[in-house]
Structure 1
Amino acid sequence: MQPSFLKITRREGLGLGLALLSSIMYLSAPTSARAEFNLRIVQGTDVDTLDPAVSRSTPSQIVFNNIFNTLVRWKDTKLDEIVPDLAESWTKSEDGLRWTFKLRRGVKFHDGTPFDAEAVKFSLERILDPALGSPNRSLFTSISEVNAKNPETVEIVTKEPSPMLLEVLAEEYAGINSPTAVKKSGRAYARNPVGTGPYMLSEWVPAQQLVIKRNPDYAGTPGKPDKMTFRPVPEAEARVIELTTGNADIALNIPPEATEKVRRNAATAIVTEPSSFQIFFELNTTKPPFADPRVRLAINHAIDRKAIIEKILNGYGRVPDGIFPRGVQGRAPGQPPYAYDPDKARKMIAEVFPGGYNEPIVIWTPAGRYAKDKAVAETVQGYLNAIGLKTEFKVWEWATYQKTLYRPETGKGTGRGSNDANMWLLGTGVTNADWRLRRKFSSTDDSNLTGYKQPRIDELLAKASVDMNYTSRMQAYADVQKIVWNEAPNSLVLFDQVQLIGIAKGLKGLEVYGDEIIKLDQVTKLGRLPPSGR
């Protein structure tokens, strides 16, 4: 059951279908003085960077979404309308190649640098610069030029018509940075972010806590909390204790077995939300045994997903019927789920390796990032051992895991640190069909860790990327989904995740997105008054 003070609605527009936990009006008896409101959040993993251009981590994005603004943004969690943010308005040329944005006046970065067209040009050209090594660069490569026409006007020129440009500019990665701060901090900018958002960095002690404080000069609606404190608590049960003993207001990624404990506590409640997150092992397709798609298909039949969901996740999950869970744009009609059939898996592997595959398969997993990730990974290891495969297992701390996975290494096969493993546990909640597919399956995308290469899929993605017709574009994405699921996967798909968030009773204004981003700036607690407007 949902707590009575939380209202759930669903969005059907644009086919994204994301669930939303709507903001709820703050109600409190007036008082003469407002005590300082520190919103305390515990996450399963530490923040790895506060530079939006290089971030791939949801825990980091939850923090820096409060520090940065983008040119445009989604109106709300329905994700059915793009509205102005740092841009006041925009127009598009008849040929669809030139977009002109009129910018808000009087906005300043936290360091006092004026926000203007040069700052937009600087931020977008920075993420496009190969020297930065942004894992999100390919999302922006349709852009050929960024021109500062005058301080309040910026023009973005695309190589071809770009049907997704506004959606791209609304992504967290498109946060506009202070050019002064980037140049001053250099490589240390990830620890010293400067945006225009409602909050600014106050303190960051890695592995201990990160504090952001309200920006007193914010040009928009002021944030409600005076400050927010984020702490990494990798042990799931420890996060529950932090919440139920009053040391935290929000605990993310509550373990399934602890939900009743949180519900029964007089001071806490559980928010259960659908998720666009799917959890999977990516498979290194550049070397044996997963260089052959038949082996990749085979191990998908070696896993009893229903047992994982029922026994490890306490029923909080769904058996996947495609690479897009519900809530993702352009989801193809459900595919036949992979049947649990270890005999079939053995037979398929024997067709590729008649004498058996005798080399160890190296398995990597984080601990604390996804629902029961380590326990799920250990169970998968057992299933692979049961069909005669030898395995090695390594558990990683999340920030180090991310850096290792996405670190380019010359001569390392895929060009990433992940080439030292055969399979690594990840999840994605991306709701944009183009970006969700391209970053995993395009052979030329910098985010493709698996080395996956299928000419037919490259052709479909390239065609869709310039197709201004929504219907035919979505059909191309559906075709990619079917090929990947039925013929040539690059992953061992495990389950579609359900969000379990623990909150203190009396907490209001929390917004939950299907991709597991939570919006915090308008959160209040009973007994606290919001800051006065300006």
Structure 2
Amino acid sequence: MKPRMIIIAFMAFLFCSCNDPSPTKDAKRSGAQENTLRYDVNAPFGTLDPTVVNFSGSNNVFPLLYSYLFVPERNGTLQPDLAIQWDFDSESLAWTIVLREDAMFHNGRKITTKDVKYSIESKIENVFPEHEATIDRISCLSDTKLRVHLKRPVPFFLQTIWSIEICPSPEGEDVDFYYHPIGSGPFIFKSRKGEQSIILEANSQYYAGRPSLDRIIFFYQPDREKSWTRLLRGETDIASEIVPKTYDMIKQYKNRFYFDRYIIEYCTLLLYNTVDPLFSDPRVRMALSHAIDRHYIVREILQGYGVVASGSLGVQSPYHNPKVKPVAFDPQKAVALLKSAGWSPDKDGRLVFSDGSPFDFTLLVFRESQIEKTVARYIQLCLDEIGIRMQVKPVPFDDLKRAYYRNTDFQAVMTELQTGELYPHLLLRYWSSSSSGCSFSGCFQDTEVTRMLTDAFQTENPERRRSLLREFDSRLASLQPGTFLFQKMAIDVMSRRFDLPVPFSLSNQGTHALKHASLVADE
């Protein structure tokens, strides 16, 4: 088939680099022999204020610049960080949290419950609005004792807020979170070069002891292929979300690298503006999904490093409805659905028209993602086969997010949304219009979806919650507000020139654990 031949040729060209894995002289000059961990990040660095950032390269910096109340182990068990004790009173529906007394911010000020209260409330207001339905109020009982009052019982509540970074309460003074952020974590902000790099240095006054590393340098490297080349040549120490086939080339160097291979908790989807008349009919959206061969995308473009998605809950979610399957690749059915929705081919049998207008739209994609641009070009060819003309427009990340994030300034966008595998409450943010009147996902609205999600997170019965979320999974799949494409299999890599006493991972808790890394002594 013509689309397949073009994409295969393109991918052969894409993966023909990275021939020389030897460390270079430049790597040695750039700090490879110093006690400095170099970390490539594939998104630009914005503000370092975690109370307003949802996603940017800065998220990779937060776990080392800031502290948390507690940090979960891989099995979910919470371990103390700033909090040393916590307990729940089922009668008053309140968590009481006690802070350690020896924790200081990087400017020397002691951390108090006012800072914790400010951080939680600010994060909820700006990033996690779904928690407004669960938290009633937060009371500071003393400088070290805090009480969080809930509106209703919330299973695993602390696990849903552990990732909130603790920032200093303004208290009449403004903090410049771009050039002079103040945290309390194992590393202190030293400097930055715009969106390109950030340098952190070891915090000698860290309450858990000074890290062994002297500094960490974060580099914005949007081209993942270049990042892998830098890793192989010893020019960087950490690379995330390794591209297909490169892993096959470097896995032979297992003595040089740590590897962490996993299915990421984000689903790549083609999100449609359901407010736009072009995509307001579910039959049209379903037709587009039938026209795209997602198994081909995973097999040929991702080289098998991914799984086909069926919906927003994620392939590994315990709440996923097993009856919900990925929409089948069926171009004939796509054409039939378009016809039933009022779209007919032109006299040459090429473009489809409705009321004299062709089906023509623009898809926004992240400019710096080579993989997503390749997927978009393949989708462009698939849709052309059924008479739909799609333009691909690469844009900067901030412009991409701004277009659809509680907004309808787009026709279609290829983006990633976090699945409901670990944090199902995030589904409220993405698909429910109850809290703000406009969901985060292009202002998608459906009264049944909102009801199911609202009821699911208000019930105290876990079986009832599972049943409602499975109903939601089925309902969203039938509406196809977006074509759920795939979940990537990510392979993160770290140089073994550092010793790491815990399993390597670039999750929030895994990045936080890099404070334990130490330079391996030369033999």
Distance across 1 between alignment mates of 2:445 and 2:215: 46
Distance across 1 between alignment mates of 2:323 and 2:106: 47
Distance across 2 between alignment mates of 1:451 and 1:226: 46
Distance across 1 between alignment mates of 2:519 and 2:389: 52
Letter in 1 for 2:394: V
**Do the aligned partners of residues 333 and 525 (structure 1) sit closer, same or farther apart at CA in structure 2, a change above 3 Å counting?**
farther
**Do the aligned partners of residues 259 and 125 (structure 1) sit closer, same or farther apart at CA in structure 2, a change above 3 Å counting?**
closer
Contact 1:275 1:514 in 2 (8 A): no
Selected match of 2:521 from 504, 527, 534: 527
* Matched residues, number: 474
Letter in 2 for 1:523: A
Q: Which residue of 2 aligns with 1:422?
A: 412
Distance across 1 between alignment mates of 2:454 and 2:95: 21
**Do the aligned partners of residues 323 and 251 (structure 1) sit closer, same or farther apart at CA in structure 2, a change above 3 Å counting?**
same
Superposed, which structure 2 residues align to 1:356-435 within 5 Å?
Answer: 356-357=353-354, 358-368=358-368, 372-406=371-405, 416=407, 418-428=408-418, 431-435=421-425
Residue 93 (structure 1) aligned with residue 89 (structure 2): yes
Distance across 1 between alignment mates of 2:468 and 2:118: 34
Contact 1:282 1:426 in 2 (8 A): no
Selected match of 2:165 from 156, 166, 175: 175
**Do the aligned partners of residues 176 and 514 (structure 1) sit closer, same or farther apart at CA in structure 2, a change above 3 Å counting?**
closer
Residue 489 (structure 1) aligned with residue 480 (structure 2): yes
Q: Which residue of 2 aligns with 1:441?
A: 431
**Aligned with 2:182: secondary structure?**
coil
RCO higher in 1 or 2 (8 Å CA, sep ≥ 6)? 1
Selected match of 2:200 from 195, 212, 217: 212
Q: State the shift of 1:493 in Å.
A: 0.8
Q: State the shift of 1:43 in Å.
A: 2.1
Please report the RMSD computed on the Cα atoms of aligned residues, expressed in angstroms: 2.8
Selected match of 1:67 from 53, 65, 68: 65
**Do the aligned partners of residues 36 and 445 (structure 1) sit closer, same or farther apart at CA in structure 2, a change above 3 Å counting?**
farther
**Do the aligned partners of residues 111 and 175 (structure 1) sit closer, same or farther apart at CA in structure 2, a change above 3 Å counting?**
same
**Aligned with 1:419: secondary structure?**
coil
Contact 1:262 1:270 in 2 (8 A): no
Q: 447-456 or 147-156, which moves further after superposition?
A: 447-456
**Aligned with 2:443: secondary structure?**
coil
**Do the aligned partners of residues 167 and 315 (structure 1) sit closer, same or farther apart at CA in structure 2, a change above 3 Å counting?**
same
Q: Which residue of 2 aligns with 1:246?
A: 234
Distance across 2 between alignment mates of 1:183 and 1:291: 48
Contact 1:51 1:189 in 2 (8 A): yes
Distance across 2 between alignment mates of 1:461 and 1:518: 31
Q: Of the two, which has the highest radius of gyration?
A: 2
Q: State the shift of 1:501 in Å.
A: 2.2
Selected match of 2:267 from 258, 263, 278: 278
Contact 1:450 1:490 in 2 (8 A): no
Q: Which residue of 2 aligns with 1:83?
A: 79
Q: Which residue of 2 aligns with 1:331?
A: 320
Contact 1:67 1:199 in 2 (8 A): yes
Alpha-carbon deviations, 1:380-438, whole Å to 9, x = none? 222222222222221123344335544xxxxxxxx52x523333322425643432311
Contact 2:309 2:485 in 1 (8 A): yes
Distance across 1 between alignment mates of 2:400 and 2:320: 29
**Aligned with 2:516: secondary structure?**
coil
Letter in 2 for 1:273: Y
Q: Which residue of 1 aligns with 2:48?
A: 50
Q: Which residue of 2 aligns with 1:512?
A: 505
**Do the aligned partners of residues 515 and 299 (structure 1) sit closer, same or farther apart at CA in structure 2, a change above 3 Å counting?**
farther
Contact 1:441 1:448 in 2 (8 A): yes
Q: 394-403 or 214-223, which moves further after superposition?
A: 394-403
TM-score normalized with structure 1 length: 0.81
Q: Which residue of 1 aligns with 2:285?
A: 296
Q: Which residue of 1 aligns with 2:9?
A: none
Distance across 1 between alignment mates of 2:367 and 2:376: 10
Alpha-carbon deviations, 1:67-90, whole Å to 9, x = none? 12222331x1232x2333322222
Distance across 2 between alignment mates of 1:505 and 1:362: 44
Letter in 2 for 1:360: D
Residue 346 (structure 1) aligned with residue 335 (structure 2): yes
Contact 2:44 2:56 in 1 (8 A): no
Q: 227-236 or 266-275, which moves further after superposition?
A: 266-275
Q: State the shift of 1:128 in Å.
A: 4.3
Q: Which residue of 2 aligns with 1:410?
A: none
Q: Which residue of 2 aligns with 1:502?
A: 493
Superposed, which structure 2 residues align to 1:123-142 within 5 Å?
Answer: 123-129=119-125, 134-142=126-134
Alpha-carbon deviations, 1:186-235, whole Å to 9, x = none? xx425533222111211121232111112111112543322111111112
Residue 232 (structure 1) aligned with residue 226 (structure 2): no
**Do the aligned partners of residues 361 and 516 (structure 1) sit closer, same or farther apart at CA in structure 2, a change above 3 Å counting?**
farther
Q: 445-454 or 292-301, which moves further after superposition?
A: 445-454
Contact 2:263 2:306 in 1 (8 A): no
Distance across 2 between alignment mates of 1:208 and 1:181: 31
Distance across 2 between alignment mates of 1:326 and 1:422: 24
Alpha-carbon deviations, 1:129-176, whole Å to 9, x = none? 5xxxx23333344222111111111122223333353122212xx211
Q: 257-266 or 381-390, which moves further after superposition?
A: 257-266
Distance across 1 between alignment mates of 2:310 and 2:229: 35
Distance across 1 between alignment mates of 2:448 and 2:271: 20
**Do the aligned partners of residues 516 and 468 (structure 1) sit closer, same or farther apart at CA in structure 2, a change above 3 Å counting?**
same
Letter in 2 for 1:361: F
Q: 195-204 or 52-61, which moves further after superposition?
A: 52-61
Letter in 2 for 1:497: K
Q: Which residue of 2 aligns with 1:4?
A: none
**Do the aligned partners of residues 236 and 349 (structure 1) sit closer, same or farther apart at CA in structure 2, a change above 3 Å counting?**
same
Contact 1:111 1:181 in 2 (8 A): no
Residue 462 (structure 1) aligned with residue 454 (structure 2): yes
Selected match of 1:309 from 294, 298, 316: 298
**Aligned with 2:58: secondary structure?**
helix
Q: State the shift of 1:443 in Å.
A: 1.2
**Do the aligned partners of residues 392 and 139 (structure 1) sit closer, same or farther apart at CA in structure 2, a change above 3 Å counting?**
farther
**Do the aligned partners of residues 125 and 223 (structure 1) sit closer, same or farther apart at CA in structure 2, a change above 3 Å counting?**
same
Letter in 1 for 2:71: R
TM-score normalized with structure 2 length: 0.83
Distance across 2 between alignment mates of 1:459 and 1:139: 17
Q: State the shift of 1:507 in Å.
A: 4.2
Q: State the shift of 1:359 in Å.
A: 4.8
**Do the aligned partners of residues 452 and 526 (structure 1) sit closer, same or farther apart at CA in structure 2, a change above 3 Å counting?**
same
Alpha-carbon deviations, 1:335-380, whole Å to 9, x = none? 22211011111211221233435253221111445x8121112212
**Do the aligned partners of residues 128 and 278 (structure 1) sit closer, same or farther apart at CA in structure 2, a change above 3 Å counting?**
closer
Identical aligned residues as a percent: 22
Q: State the shift of 1:490 in Å.
A: 1.8
